[in-house]
């Protein structure tokens, strides 16, 4: 039994820790979505900006670094919100969701992404499945209905 558990543990892929920022615009509560750059898995799909934690980094440190590197802003706050997990064929991820309401600098898409300020329900498609729980909770917070089926469909048009 011991040997079997060890083998099983060795076979399980490591869960990847990801820091994700929900940027909320003060004037109207809009949410920032960005498209995944070419060269990445699911290129062109829409997501909230963020990325993987590097060794020794906290969620806030990783989010601060990723948002500076990818969209050119320096965040002023990082309010931990939810933690979710999702299993993709390419990776098993743990998503650390933070709300961000203050930042400095102009948004610059440094990896050739597209960006869109969005109200719920989102107009952009397709959206990463791993982001759907966050969209569901955000919708609930705003008293809005949520239907996961309208997101993440392969045949839906890209972008709005
Ligand atoms: N940023 C972000 N990642 C998400 C969301 N939903 C979701 O499932 N993910 C997943 C997709 C990826 O498997 C993982 C993020 O990894 P990534 O490859 O984009 O990270 P990264 O920017 O550090 O990229 P790299 O250095 O490996 O090129 O988290 C989301 O809303 N935002």
DSSP letters, 33-88, are EEEPPTTSTTTT-EE-SEEEPPTT--HHHHHHHHHHHHH--EES--EEEEEEEEE-
Please determine, for residue 154, whether its predicted confidence score (pLDDT) is greater than 70.
Answer: no
Under a CB-based contact definition with an 8 Å cutoff, are residues 80 and 59 in contact? yes
The CA 124 to ligand 1 mean position distance, Å, reads 17
Maximum Cα–Cα distance across the chain: 59
Under a CB-based contact definition with an 8 Å cutoff, are residues 35 and 71 in contact? no
Q: Which of 52, 28, 31, 29 is nearest to 40 (CA)?
A: 52
Q: What average pLDDT does the segment 16-44 reach? A: 97
The CA 3 to ligand 1 mean position distance, Å, reads 34
Using CA positions, which residue lies closest to atom 15 of ligand 1? 51
Q: What is the ipTM of this complex?
A: 0.95
Using CA positions, which residue lies closest to atom 27 of ligand 1? 52
| Structure confidence at residue 6 (pLDDT) | 54
For ligand 1, residues with CB inside 6 Å are: 18, 20, 40, 47-52, 86, 88, 91, 93, 95, 128, 130-131
Q: What is the CATH number of domain 15-149?
A: 3.90.79.10
Q: Which residues contact 60 (CB under 8 A, 6 or more apart)?
A: 19, 78, 98
| Structure confidence at residue 150 (pLDDT) | 87
DSSP-derived pairing of the beta strands 74-75 and 103-104: antiparallel
Pick the atom of ligand 1 nearest to 66's CA.
Answer: 22
Domain positions in the chain are 15-149
Under a CB-based contact definition with an 8 Å cutoff, are residues 137 and 97 in contact? no
Pick the atom of ligand 1 nearest to 19's CA.
Answer: 1
Q: Is the peptide bond before 110 cis (omega within 30 degrees of 0)?
A: no
pTM score: 0.90
């Amino acid at each position: 039994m011991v040997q079997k558990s060890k083998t099983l543990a060795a076979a399980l892929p490591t869960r990847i820790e990801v820091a994700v920022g929900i940027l909320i615009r003060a004037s109207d509560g809009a949410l920032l979505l960005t498209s995944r750059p070419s060269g990445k898995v699911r290129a062109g799909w829409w997501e909230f900006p963020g990325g993987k934690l590097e060794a020794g980094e906290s969620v806030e440190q990783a989010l601060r670094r990723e948002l500076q590197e990818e969209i050119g802003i320096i965040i002023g706050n990082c309010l931990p919100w939810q933690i979710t997990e999702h299993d993709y064929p390419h990776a098993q991820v743990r998503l650390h969701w933070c709300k961000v309401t203050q930042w400095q600098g102009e948004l610059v898409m440094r990896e050739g992404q597209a960006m869109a300020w969005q109200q719920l329900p989102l107009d952009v498609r397709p959206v990463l499945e791993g982001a759907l729980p966050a969209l569901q909770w955000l919708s609930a917070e705003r008293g809005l209905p949520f239907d996961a089926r309208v997101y993440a469909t392969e045949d839906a048009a890209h972008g709005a």
